[in-house]
Amino acid sequence: MPKIKLPRSSPRLDMTPMVDLAFLLVTFFMLTTKFRAEEPVLVDTPSSIADQIIDKDYILLTVGSKGEVFFSMDNKNSRRSLIDKLDERRKLGLSEKEKNTFAVMGSLGVPFNKLKTLLNLKPDERTKFKQDGIPSDSTDNELNDWIHQARLVNANFRIAVKGDQNVHYKEFQGIVKTLIKNSAHRFNLITNLEAAPNTKK
Amino acid sequence: MAEISSDGGGSHKKVKGKPKGKKMSTHIDMTPMVDLAFLLLTFFMLATSFSRPHAMEVIYPEKPKNDKDIPELPKERALTFLVGKNDKLLYYYGLLDKSTQLENADYSPESIRKIVMDRMVYAKNYSKDHQGLFVMIKATEDARYKNIVDIFDEMNITKAPNYAIMDILPEEKKMLDAK
């Protein structure tokens, strides 16, 4: 009896559908990715059941664990008009190039007199640059200027405060007072989402 | 000699008969391309900010133009939380007077929630105006921000009708330190 010969199948498999899918996903992620803006401090936010999502049209105040305040605003065009206004008001003497740099960068927290230096740094130098936060004490409340001008640019932007868990209430209170002074009574606190407990009994 | 072995490593024996044109395989080795595709895929998947920020809305009351506009709060409706440093949390019912006793609470899920829920029923039933509970949150300067958010969160969970964060009174601060 002759041995049954199994037909020798090629070890290759057709990868075309897999490649199709892979590239489809690549394209999807490439188009939808919005890179997370680099943040000067790591902030460990408290958690809550609140689930509102803020991903556009916001003014973001980040508060680091030592109480240093950082400012950020959504939308390139708004940032551009904001820096124009601030430049005019505070006589910062910024060049067009520096203003454009501001329009595309993330959070920042330096006093006005260091702003020009910060904007002139190369991106990698900027991440290393030690930012101590925007001064918000009563002698010269620069944070007030930031918020006031940002509200003038667009009053409909939502205000979000992203605070570290360990920030003292004093710092938080200071920011709230500044916000209220600018008639922003309604704002948002950024928190980590946690499951809502069942309160029905 | 310079033959491209496209026939899957088959024999080099020439088939006798008709001279055939070289048969090129239609297969292309896609492995490097796939490698690259998956590398990019992984990169973009990781770089995408999946966790969009979640936010809790807080509304601070506007200051009335003159003090007469502030409605009086019946003592049955009042509940005050005092937030101190090192996660210290105390509370008292009603308005502050000499007989006010501070009670201990903590940040465990059952503590604040139970106090507020119980008192909500009481406030509704026993107050003169039958309005809901009014929770006052007062924190000292060295309290942690987390504690404030935790209390706000409990207010949202219990759906407390009114709550506000207020400045701590000197007497309350003294009582908090003493306890």
Identify whether A20 is part of a domain. no
The pLDDT assigned to A139 comes to: 73
Domain span at residue A89 reads 53-193
Residues of B in Cβ contact (< 8 Å) with A160? 53, 55
- B45: tokens are 């998947």
pLDDT for B90-108, tens place per residue? 888 888 777 777 888 888 8
Residues of A in Cβ contact (< 8 Å) with B64? none
Mutate which: A48, A53, A171, vs B, most B CBs within 10 A: A48
The pLDDT assigned to A30 comes to: 81
For chain A, how are helix, strand and coil distributed in percent, rounded to 5? 40, 15, 45
Identify whether A9 is part of a domain. no
Of the candidates A103, A100, A79, A95, the one whose C-alpha atom is nearest the C-alpha of residue A153 is: A79
Q: What is the pTM of this model?
A: 0.73
Give the start-to-end residue ranges of the domains of chain B: 71-178
Residue A2 has pLDDT above 80, yes or no: no
Separation between Cα atoms, residue B87 and residue B112, nearest integer Å: 13
Q: Is B152 near chain A, with CB under 8 Å?
A: yes
**Mean pLDDT over the full length of chain B:** 77
Identify whether A17 is part of a domain. no
Q: Is B47 near chain A, with CB under 8 Å?
A: yes
How many domains are contained in chain A?
1
Residue B71 has pLDDT above 60, yes or no: yes
Residue B149 has pLDDT above 70, yes or no: yes
Separation between Cα atoms, residue B93 and residue B116, nearest integer Å: 10
Residue B24 has pLDDT above 80, yes or no: no
Identify whether A168 is part of a domain. yes
The beta-strand segments (E) located in B4-156 are: 54-59, 78-83, 89-93, 103-105, 134-139
pLDDT for A142-159, tens place per residue? 888 888 888 888 888 888
Identify whether A2 is part of a domain. no
Separation between Cα atoms, residue B73 and residue B91, nearest integer Å: 17
Residues of B in Cβ contact (< 8 Å) with A164? 145
Identify whether A105 is part of a domain. yes
Q: Which residues of B34-55 are buried (b: 16+ CB within 10 A; e: fewer)?
A: eeebeebbeebeeebeeeebbb
**First-to-final CA distance of chain B:** 97
Residue type, A123: P
Residues of A in Cβ contact (< 8 Å) with B109? 197
Identify whether A5 is part of a domain. no
Identify whether A28 is part of a domain. no
Q: Which of A3-17, A92-106, A118-132, B153-167 has the lowest mean pLDDT?
A: A3-17
pLDDT for A50-67, tens place per residue? 878 877 788 888 888 888
For chain B, how are helix, strand and coil distributed in percent, rounded to 5? 35, 20, 45
HSE at residue A146, side-chain half, CA atoms within 13 A, is 28
CB contact (8 A) between residue A18 and residue B44: no
* The listed CATH number (3.40.190.10, 3.30.365.10, 3.30.420.270, 3.90.190.20) that belongs to domain B71-178: 3.30.420.270
